[in-house]
Structure 1
Amino acid sequence: MENHGKRWRKIRFRLLAFGVTMSILPFLLLGYFQIRASKTDLQKAIQKHNMLVAHRTSEEVARLTENMTGILKTVARLEEPQALEGTWEENKSLLFSVLKMSPYFEEVSIFSQDGREMARVSRREVVAREDLKPRVEVDLNNLTKEGIYIGPVYLTADGSPVVDMAVAFENPAGNLLLGGLRAQVSLRSVMEKITSLHIGQGAYIFMVDGEGRLIGHEDFSQVLKHRQVTASAAVRAFLMGVDGDSLPVPNRYQSYTGQEVLGVFAPVQGVDWGVVIEQPLDQAFRPISLLVMKFLLATAMVIVVVTAISIYFGLRFTKPIEVLEQGVKRVGRGDLNYVIPVEIEDEIGRLVTTFNQMTKELKSKTDKLNFEKERLDTIVSGIGVGLILVDQVCRVHWANPHADKWQVNLGMGQQCYLAVNHQGHPCPGCPVTGGSSDSFGEEILTWVMVEGKKRYFRHRVYYLAQAGPEEPRFLEIMEDITEEKEMEEAMLQTDKLAAVGLLASGVAHEINNPLGTVTAYTEYLQEKRRSNSLCQLCESGEFDQYLQIIQKQIGRCATITRNLLNFSRQTTDRIENININNLLEDALLLLKYQLDRKEIQVRKIYTENLPLVKGDYTNMQQAFLNLLTNAVDALSESGTLALSTSGRDGMVEVVINDNGHGISEEHLSRIFEPFFTTKPVGQGTGLGLSISYGIITKLQGQIQVASLEGQGSTVTVRLPAETTAGEGHGEEGHNEP
């Protein structure tokens, strides 16, 4: 089947098929339409002929009916006195004479005005006086009104269809019925009369009454079998009162015999009978069948001749095309140096020449594209960033060498986040899988272990609008920011150590006080030991009391040094829930000496059950310590430092206010620049506010500074809040005034 399909796709076979088809198809179409037209004309002619026969037959039946009723009317008019007043024998003699007047009369009778039979004679039996009926089957009311009565068709004892006809004796006085004549008419005899009319080959004629019963057929055995004929469409149309002349042409349907026929009908005037003629199609179309056989024989001869001619010219015309096909295949396999030979100078020859020129240009452009590809690969590999193409489900389709080198677990066909964030779900905020369209181009920070070292990467994702439906739609650009991250951490640590240096003197003073107490009690105990008085101290309980005082002062020193060590320690980011109130208290504890030395009054308005914030505790402590240190430095002695916290609109807000010397307008716009400071040389690095700004904005927070020179400054920090409130980290912070 596959080889047959390939063969059919060749131009040679299609040209052959085209030649044969175009040679034979017109002939076939012409013959088809000719036969169809002949068939239609024949059907119309047959239906028209059968319709004429049906009308002639119905007219003949109506004429016979009229003749028989005429005979009865004549006898009734002439013989009325004798019939009504005659004896039994006289009436029988009269009726026998009437019976001889028509071969269709089966029996004739005289009845009185109340419908009682007075005399009756029959062709099939002898009727005695006691056989007379008390009432004839005649509708006396209709007979009185119309003077003539033709009853419904009914069957005799032997199954023959008959119909009663009756006429009334004329009454000069009015409509009073005096009696009448009744005749039983044999419809079999009527059918024998009308079947002598000529109808088409194989056609047959039959009659039905107003109820669709078969009352006459040229094959009278059908009537005796009580054959149901209402399955024929012509019979149903007659029963529905359709005009026989309005039947469709041709009127084809399946007859009650099961054959497909052409059928017509005509109603009989004066009675509710119909004449139906049906002709089977196989008989009607016999001339057409002979014509079709002759046409098919001629068609077969034409096909043989046309096929031979088409094969010859098809082979001759398609050979150059096959040569071109072989050449195209060689070029398609990559042989751009191949030149197809030109054998003829017709349209195909010019096509070959054009193709050879196109191959030459294609080779030139291919060489140029290869050069451009090599140059692009060099650029992409040398720009120092990783490039990854991913689809809608983050599946990797391509990655440049830098991305492969950095992401050691990155594989084609796997999800990129399996190598990037070491988790089984996409990176938070990734625009590929659920992020908003506004997040395209925004930074996403991740880390990965490369050769045993932790390296940090910045990711940006861009949407490729021109990508096809099966192509990756997103470009991910990765930058190794490990050195930048290390530099940032170094700056944080530098600022932290600078702050430690500034805090060292204060911490030393804070430690001196408890150490002095420890020294005094130690010297006192040593003196007691030399004087052998320790036992007295132990017995009095003073010894334990002194030891508790020494232990308390040592604990105080440990707390001060631990806070300073925790602050100065270099740590990695550890995101946790933080209680801002406690964090501020820990920062104030580190500044306690500076606050006490300058006699600064600290006012605190903390909101209870404040929502927690997420972040690294040490980094946030450094950020707020820088802000508080700047406020303390700006205050003169006996100044005021106010701190307040609150939660609103999903944010935690911290306000730090001082009544110090303030910041000039020209310096206010530069306070967050690295290394910018207004302090004297040696008293500041210029990194504090810059680092605080970086830490807060990294947490999606905001920092604002408002200041008027000579009136103090207000710093407002807003950080995203968690949905729950609690202590969080820093629950051990002190709340000293």
Structure 2
Amino acid sequence: YIDNAEVDNNNQIVFNCYIPISYLNREFAGGFVEKISLRKVMEEISSLEQPKGSYIMLVDKEGNLIGHTDYSQVLRQQDVLGSDSVQKLLSDSDVGIGENFKSITYKSYTGEEVLGVYGLIPTVGWGVVVEQPLTNAYSTLQAMLFRMTILLLVIILVIAMLIVFIISMVIKPVNELSKGVYSVKNGNFNYQVPYHSKDELGIVIEGFNGMIKEIKIKRENDKVALIAEKRASVGLLAAGVAHEINNPMNILGFYADDLLDLMETEDINELKKTGVFKDYLLNIREQIKRCTDIVQSLLTFSKEVEPQIKNVYIPDVINIVLKLVKYPISKQNIKLELIWDESIPCVLADESQMQQVILNLVTNSLHAMPEGGKLIIKLSSSDNMLCIDIIDTGTGIKDEDFKHIFNPFFTTKPLGNGTGLGLPIIQTIVEQCGGHIDLKNNKESGVTANICIPTSNEVKHGAV
């Protein structure tokens, strides 16, 4: 049993603690009385670690201050009734230490806003109050928030550095790869994308470099094949070109001999006056021009230059090719028909390569009509595509040969009349222009070779 606190002779607040003693049969035998100084109790409590600025106080049933961690306040009988917690303790008998312990913010007897915890000791009815000024209570929270903010900033900085590092490891190779794609797009097949890692991106770049090497090799092989086919075509054309040149040369010889005879028998001044001399010279010049045109066409076709993509007017290409095959067309008694509109758009291509395409297809048609026939060259345009149809009335293509016609070195011509590279080269050239080629047998006889190539915006007017 603990009785009420009181002031002893030494001006100390004490309370008596009664401890009963009983026999084994529980019969009261006596007891001890211990006088305990609240000051000593509070000093023991004060020695314990406490939050900054906090304090503990005890009040009796009347709200008098009987204990405080700052015991000087007890000695001067500090009035604590102004504290909201003390008022609650006096008015609320249900406040007890345990599940009913109260923790609120309120105004203390000092006039400060405090965070307080209070409750009643049931056995004696004393109130226990623990208070801490809000400025001190929140300083810990603020310090914690500050530390958390600093930690968060450090984490964000570290993450940002990691992101920058990762981006540099990913974006730089991607930029290099993009640069490589752009270089290859512009025709630089010697470009190799640098890479220093074996990760997924490094594998992609390595594959890209390997692909570029393979494309470069294929382009070089195509170039060699194109040159070989062109030289073979020139060889096949040589006889016809020689015959075409031979005719005007014979005429030149005739005019030269005749003119020499006239100069020996006739007066030169008289020949000049009558215009005979001039007529002979004009005829000689015309035959020389015929020879020059034939040779120039052959030189233009056989010239080995780097491809130059530009606007190409296909009727002009056809006219150049027809000059080269004029002799076999005449010799084989082949009827030629040219069909195209008044306005035919140009295509973006290399002119020399387009000559190669037209010549190979026309030559194939001529070889298929050794006993004569009809050759039709038709041009038409629609949906931004220029279509070239080369139609003959020859022997056609066997059904079993269709699946092989675009294979390199496959040919049905007699030995010495072809290399088997013509159609594969044509297919490569046409596809590089963004077009396509198709061959099919006609219903009656012969073959139709159809080529479609994207047109450019330029239009050159011409008529046939």
Q: TM-score, normalised by structure 1?
A: 0.40
Superposed, 1:79-98 pairs within 5 Å as: none
How far 1:695 sits from its partner (Å)? 1.6
In the alignment, what sits opposite 2:183? 427
Superposed, 1:77-156 pairs within 5 Å as: none
In the alignment, what sits opposite 1:705? 439
AA matched with 2:111: L
AA matched with 1:577: N
Superposed CA RMSD: 4.5
Q: Secondary structure at the match of 1:446?
A: coil
How far 1:556 sits from its partner (Å)? 0.8
Q: TM-score, normalised by structure 2?
A: 0.61
How far 1:524 sits from its partner (Å)? 1.6
AA matched with 2:183: C
How far 1:593 sits from its partner (Å)? 0.9
How far 1:46 sits from its partner (Å)? 6.4
AA matched with 1:570: E
Residue 578 of structure 1 contacts residue 613 of structure 1 at CA under 8 Å; is this kept in 2? yes
The 10-residue stretch of structure 1 (703-712 or 692-701) with the greater mean CA deviation from structure 2: 703-712
Residue 106 of structure 2 contacts residue 114 of structure 2 at CA under 8 Å; is this kept in 1? no
Q: Secondary structure at the match of 1:669?
A: helix
AA matched with 1:702: H
Superposed, 1:391-470 pairs within 5 Å as: 391=172, 394-395=175-176, 416=179, 426-427=182-183, 445-448=187-190
Q: Secondary structure at the match of 1:672?
A: coil
Aligned length: 337
Q: Secondary structure at the match of 1:656?
A: strand
Residue 311 of structure 2 contacts residue 349 of structure 2 at CA under 8 Å; is this kept in 1? yes
How far 1:683 sits from its partner (Å)? 2.1
Label 1:31 to 1:647 Cα distance change in 2 as closer, same or farther (>3 A).
same
How far 1:651 sits from its partner (Å)? 1.8
Q: Which has the higher contact order (CA 8 A, sep 6+)?
A: 2
* Residue ranges of structure 1 left out of the alignment (5+ in a row): 1-23, 52-248, 253-261, 263-278, 297-388, 397-414, 421-425, 430-443, 449-456
In the alignment, what sits opposite 2:336? 602
Q: Is 1:533 equivalent to 2:314 in the alignment? A: no
Please list the CA deviations of residues 501-551 of structure 1 after superposition, one character each: whole Å capped at 9, or x if unmatched. 221121122122222222222112111221242111111222112111110
In structure 2, what is the Cα distance between the partners aligned to 1:560 and 1:43?
122
Superposed, 1:635-654 pairs within 5 Å as: 635-654=369-388
Q: Is 1:543 equivalent to 2:283 in the alignment? A: no
In structure 2, what is the Cα distance between the partners aligned to 1:576 and 1:677?
32
- The correspondence for 1:720, drawn from 444, 449, 454, is 454
Higher-Rg structure is 1
In structure 2, what is the Cα distance between the partners aligned to 1:708 and 1:670?
19
In structure 1, what is the Cα distance between the partners aligned to 2:281 and 2:291?
15
Q: Secondary structure at the match of 1:493?
A: helix
How far 1:50 sits from its partner (Å)? 12
In structure 1, what is the Cα distance between the partners aligned to 2:281 and 2:58?
130
In structure 1, what is the Cα distance between the partners aligned to 2:113 and 2:265?
155
How far 1:637 sits from its partner (Å)? 3.4
Superposed, 1:469-480 pairs within 5 Å as: 475=206, 476-478=208-210, 479-480=212-213
In the alignment, what sits opposite 2:83? 43
How far 1:609 sits from its partner (Å)? 2.8
How far 1:653 sits from its partner (Å)? 1.1
In structure 2, what is the Cα distance between the partners aligned to 1:395 and 1:29?
61
How far 1:562 sits from its partner (Å)? 0.8
Label 1:484 to 1:458 Cα distance change in 2 as closer, same or farther (>3 A).
farther
Residue 634 of structure 1 contacts residue 662 of structure 1 at CA under 8 Å; is this kept in 2? yes
Label 1:604 to 1:29 Cα distance change in 2 as closer, same or farther (>3 A).
same
- The correspondence for 2:346, drawn from 602, 608, 612, is 612
Residue 506 of structure 1 contacts residue 591 of structure 1 at CA under 8 Å; is this kept in 2? yes
- Alignment identity in percent? 29
Please list the CA deviations of residues 142-174 of structure 1 after superposition, one character each: whole Å capped at 9, or x if unmatched. xxxxxxxxxxxxxxxxxxxxxxxxxxxxxxxxx
Please list the CA deviations of residues 435-489 of structure 1 after superposition, one character each: whole Å capped at 9, or x if unmatched. xxxxxxxxx85245xxxxxxxx69999xx9956xxx9985541454666544433
In structure 1, what is the Cα distance between the partners aligned to 2:416 and 2:105?
118
Superposed, 1:49-60 pairs within 5 Å as: none
In structure 2, what is the Cα distance between the partners aligned to 1:292 and 1:500?
108
In structure 1, what is the Cα distance between the partners aligned to 2:278 and 2:355?
39
In structure 2, what is the Cα distance between the partners aligned to 1:599 and 1:690?
29
In structure 2, what is the Cα distance between the partners aligned to 1:715 and 1:615?
19
In structure 2, what is the Cα distance between the partners aligned to 1:598 and 1:579?
28
- The correspondence for 1:497, drawn from 223, 231, 248, is 231
Label 1:284 to 1:543 Cα distance change in 2 as closer, same or farther (>3 A).
closer
In the alignment, what sits opposite 1:281? 111
AA matched with 1:427: S
Residue 365 of structure 2 contacts residue 392 of structure 2 at CA under 8 Å; is this kept in 1? yes
